[in-house]
Amino acid sequence: MFKEDSKRFDNDYIFAVIFIIERLLTKSDGLNFITNIETLIEENTEYTDFHHLGFPENWKELLEKVNHKKVE
């Protein structure tokens, strides 16, 4: 986890990995990544509690904020 992000959420959950992947992707790939995650969550909400995977309530906002800072 990047030092400035370590206080936002716990490193021990899947969301931390997703956050790091988002930081490594290009801006356009990052947008696709966020959209794909949103689709997976919508399709699996009935079966999975994403909070237990470390997803904060504002997960999409966090990923979009990181993506917005990128330069193409």
Q: How confident is the model at residue 6 (pLDDT cuts 50, 70, 90)?
A: low
| Nearest-angstrom CA–CA distance, 31 and 67 | 7
Tell me the per-residue pLDDT of 13-67, one tens digit each, with 9 for 90 and over: 899 999 999 999 999 999 999 999 999 999 998 999 999 999 999 999 999 999 9
Q: Give domain limits for the chain.
A: 9-68
pLDDT at 3 over 90: no
Distances (CA, A) of 41 to 3, 6, 25, 33, 53: 27, 24, 20, 12, 11
**pTM, entire model:** 0.82
